Amino acid sequence: MKISHIISFLVSTSTVALAQSFCDATGHSGESIKVNGNKIGKIGNVDYQLWADGGNNSATFYSDGSFSCAFQTSIDYLCRTGMSFNNGKTHSQIGHITADFKVVKQSITNVGYAYVGVYGWTKNPRVEYYVVDDWLSPQRPGDWLGNQKQGDFTIDGAEYTVYKNVRSDLTQYFSLRKVGRSCGSINVSAHFQQWEKLGMTMGTIDEVKVLAEIGNSNGGVTGTVEFPYAKVYL
Does the pLDDT value for residue 98 go beyond 90? yes
Q: For residues 53 and 98, give the distance between their C-alpha atoms in angstroms, rounded to a whole number.
A: 29
Q: Is the Cβ–Cβ distance between 101 and 116 less than 8 Å?
A: yes
pLDDT at 107: 85
Q: Above 60 in pLDDT, residue 11? A: no
Task: Quickly list DSSP for the chain.
Answer: --HHHHHHHHHHHHHHHHHHHHHT--S--S-EEEEESSEEEEETTEEEEEEEESSEEEEEEETTS-EEEEEEEESEEEEEEEEE--SS--HHHH---EEEEEEEEEEEES--EEEEEEEEEEETTTEEEEEEEE-SSSS---GGG-SEEEEEEEETTEEEEEEEEE-SS-EEEEEEESS--SEEEEEHHHHHHHHHHTT----EE-EEEEEEEEE-TTT-EEEEEEEEEEEEE-
The pLDDT of residue 106 is 78
Mind listing the pLDDT tens digit for each residue in 50-95? 999 999 999 999 999 999 999 999 999 999 999 999 899 999 999 9
pTM passes above 0.85: yes
pLDDT number for residue 105? 82
Asked about 128 being catalytic, the answer comes back as yes
What's the rounded mean pLDDT across residues 127-153? Answer: 96
* pLDDT attached to residue 53: 97
- The domains of the chain, with CATH numbers, are 32-233 (2.60.120.180)
* C-alpha pair distances (Å), 120 with each of 29, 139, 159: 25, 24, 21
* Residue of 31, 128, 159, 196 marked active site: 128
Answer yes or no: is pLDDT of 204 > 90: yes
pLDDT at site 182: 96
Does the annotation count 207 as an active-site position?
Answer: no
Residue 233 reports pLDDT greater than 80: yes
CA dihedral 96, 193, 128, 221 (to 10 degrees): -80
- What is the number of alpha carbons within 13 Å of residue 71 lying toward its C-beta? 32
Region 129-144: what's the mean pLDDT?
95
Mean model confidence pLDDT for the chain: 92
pLDDT of residue 70: 97
pLDDT, residue 19, reads 54
Is residue 142 very low, low, confident or very high in pLDDT (cuts 50, 70, 90)? very high
Q: What is the mean pLDDT of residues 100-128?
A: 95
Query: What pLDDT is attached to residue 20?
Result: 58
- Best CA proximity match to 153, nearest among 98, 114, 190: 190
Task: Report pLDDT digits (tens) over 167-203.
Answer: 988 999 999 999 999 999 999 999 999 999 999 999 9
Beta bridge partners of 184: 101
Q: Which of 31, 159, 207, 213 is catalytic?
A: 213
